[in-house]
Structure 1
Amino acid sequence: MWRNGLLWMFLIIGTMIGAGYASGREIWEFFGVESGLAILLFSVLFMISCYVIMNISHQFQSVHYLPVLHLLLGKRISKLYDLMIILYLFSTTVIMLAGGGATLEVIHLPFWAGVILIAFFVVILFIWDVKGITTIHALITPILIITLLGVLFAFQSLHGFPIKNISDGQSNWPSALTFTALNILPLVSVIGAVGQKIIHKGEIWIASIGSGLILGLVSFFYNESLVEVANELVLYEIPLFAIMTHYPYYMVLVMSGLLTVAIYTTAASGVFGLISRIKESVQSPSWLLALFLVAVMAPLTMFGFSTLISILYPLYGVLNLYLLASILLYPILNHRSIRDKINH
């Protein structure tokens, strides 16, 4: 039970800690000053969301996310969210492949070579299907968390742990809702695909509580560190590097590697969500489907997707609030039978 629970926990955290989170960009966009309560609320909301989604997934023994959407939203509305998830996973994975190519240019690897390298490792992963994606997250995610927390704790210790977000006002608490909502789509797509693999109910508790606590802790210390260098953030595209100016150059290279790994895990999770959705209709090995998907995505990395994302992300943010509300209200309204909710 504990082993599987930890596997699901690392899968959830690895899906959440993508390049945007690891770079600090998402943290700073949503939180900043007066956000201690917001991060605490996010942690609680995230635990509840994970528990509800995993519980439904386990109940249905699902192999993709559609049964979860049907139960939460009904068949009609879930069609819209199904399309949204496919668009989100596809566009995010394209951006991750492009980001991987750009990041590896730091070591003088041509852009296309970087894209192909990231894509190659994503495809190789799916030779082992679900076991491959859970294993890679179980190996990589702890390293990501430990390295990131180590850097943040060291930075805080240099400044005497000047924690400000507890005693200050907490006017930024609504950010907890939007931050959780924006991250709910990949959560549903990945957790909804492993219901058949969950054996014991205790695995759900371990994964939900563990992921919420760890992400809450990392988010809090990351945000506190960014508040300390707030005046320098305008100079950096990647907020993490504002913190890294206080470290030797080799540590910058280490954290660049960490960002590359975060990009890889996000790309892998995106492909996993897409494969789990289409595998029921297309009878092919997972690695072959992964190869097809990255082959379609690779040419698109040459286009700038910032315009597309600037349109899609605000749309996701608004529409996801409805999905988040449905998830949070599900335990309260669960007096209705599953059959009635599906046929609604």
Structure 2
Amino acid sequence: MDKKVNTVFQIAAVFIGTIVGAGLASGKETSQFFTSYGYKSYIGIIACGIFYILICSLISKISAANNLNSYSDLMYTVSPNFFSKITGTLITLYLISSSSIILAGSGALLNQFFGIPKIVGTLIMAVIALITLLKDTSGLIEINSVIVPSLLIVIFSIFTLYLLLDSKSMTLENMKSLPPLKPNGLTWSTIIYIGFNITCCSGVIVPLSTKIKDSKSMKYGIILGAIGLTLLCIMINSMLLVNQPHIFKCEIPLLYVADRFGKLIQAILLIIIWCEMFSTEVSDVYSISRSLDTALNISYKKAIFLVILIDLPISQIGFSNLISTLYPIFGLLSLIFIVQCAYYYFKHRKELKINA
């Protein structure tokens, strides 16, 4: 029993760690896709949590039933035609861009706090990620089991400080009074956000589902992870809302939010954000490398080095530029992948003995 509970928490941690990434951990992603729409942004955040549970559970069941090992395997299963190759290639490009964004985020984070050149922060992340990835799946689970609880504790602590020291600004009435930067477009923004996050985490959910071979543990792990992720996003969004419009000018908005509590709190938050970026970098590169191993017969270890080498020059485009440009594009393309998975699931549910 204890082993199953531990497995559920590990799955939840990997799920959260994969999705949080550079964008959410820094606050940049939340500010762009939710905070800019004002207090109504909470509706979009809750909708994301619901869809994470529905779609990711579906992907997990398909993966376990077909003994799949990568998102490429999943693509060829749900769409065994030329179109699947196009979609699979687009997903690979998305994950490469996502891992590049994280490397850029590491550079931006250390630059904003310490003033060191961005390339230094990027290289530090790349080297430590390589070392961890050589441990394969065990390294992925180990880092998320430590980093994710730490992130939740630190964000909750800062959120609690806001509630205690600035309770008036954290009321719903005050948030309603703040004019949104973007009055329209929340629905579309939410759909895009759901799309690229589900595509991102599918690269980890697929091999985990096959390796663990316990549908109930995967199901509960995904549910717990989605709930934790939703609460995390709500807390971050609340703090960003009451710090408008200043947060829109920062590459790392959460560091600005924590500034009022002193350098110590800022430093702790910086460490946690960096660690969370790191966990998602590992997840993304792991997903791509596993896919390259399956699709192109490039060994896992060689693929790791290849992906990092591709990521480094892309990361120099800049953190904010990459998020604002690439995330919406790949979010839209990811909707095709989600529709294909849903269609396959409902068409083959009886054949695969999958219970709805």
TM bin, normalised by shorter chain, reads 0.7 to 0.9
CA change 1:116–1:78 in 2 (3 A) is: same
In the alignment, is the contact (CA less than 8 A) between 2:26 and 2:273 conserved in 1?
Answer: yes
C-alpha displacement of 1:171: 8.8
Which residue pairs with 2:10 in the alignment? 7
Return 5+ residue gaps in structure 1 as ranges: 339-344
1:322 paired to 2:322:
no
Partner residue in 2 for 1:342: none
Structure 2: gaps (5+ residues)? 178-182
How far did 1:237 drift?
A: 3.0
- The one of 236, 239, 242 aligned to 1:222: 236
The alpha carbon displacement at 1:334 in A equals: 4.2
Q: Which residue of 1 aligns with 2:201?
A: 187
Question: What is residue 232 of structure 1 aligned with on the other side?
Answer: 246
Please report the TM-score for the alignment, with normalisation by the length of structure 2: 0.83
Instruction: Determine the C-alpha separation between the residues in 1 that align with 2:320 and 2:164.
Output: 37
Q: Is the contact between residue 255 and residue 270 of structure 2 (CA under 8 Å) also seen in structure 1?
A: no
Give distance in 1, aligned partners of 2:239 and 2:32.
14
- Say if 1:151 and 1:127 are closer, same or farther in 2 by CA, change over 3 A: same
Partner of 2:283: 269
Q: What pairs up with 1:100-111 in 2 under 5 angstroms? A: 100-105=106-111, 106-107=113-114, 110-111=117-118
Q: Which moved more, 1:223-232 or 1:133-142?
A: 223-232
The structural deviation recorded for 1:259 is: 2.1
Which residue does 1:40 correspond to in 2?
Answer: 46
Residue 163 (structure 2) pairs with residue 156 (structure 1): yes
- 1:136 maps to 2:143: yes
Equivalent position SS for 2:134: helix
Q: State the alpha-carbon separation in 2 of the partners of residues 8 and 120 from structure 1.
A: 25
Q: Structure 1 residues 22-31 or 298-307, which shifts more?
A: 298-307
Residue 202 of structure 1 and its aligned partner are, at CA, apart by: 1.2
Q: Partners in 2 of 1:309 and 1:26 — Cα distance?
A: 7
- Partners of 2:54 and 2:71 lie apart in 1 by 17
Measured after TM superposition, the shift of residue 210 of structure 1 is: 0.3
Q: 1:333 to 1:157 in 2, by over 3 A?
A: farther
1:178 alignment partner in structure 2: 192
1:58-69 aligned within 5 A: 58-69=64-75
Deviations 1:271-305 (A, max 9, x none): 10111101235667644432343234335544558
Task: Quote the residue 1:51 is aligned against.
Answer: 57
Further displaced range: 277-286 or 21-30? 277-286
Contact 2:104 2:318 survives alignment (8 Å): no
Is this contact kept in 1: 2:108–2:251, CA < 8 A? no
Displacement of 1:233 after TM fit? 2.4
Name the count of aligned residue pairs. 339
**How big is the shift at 1:96?**
2.0
Q: Cα offset for 1:21?
A: 0.4
CA contact (8 A) 1:28 1:223 kept: yes
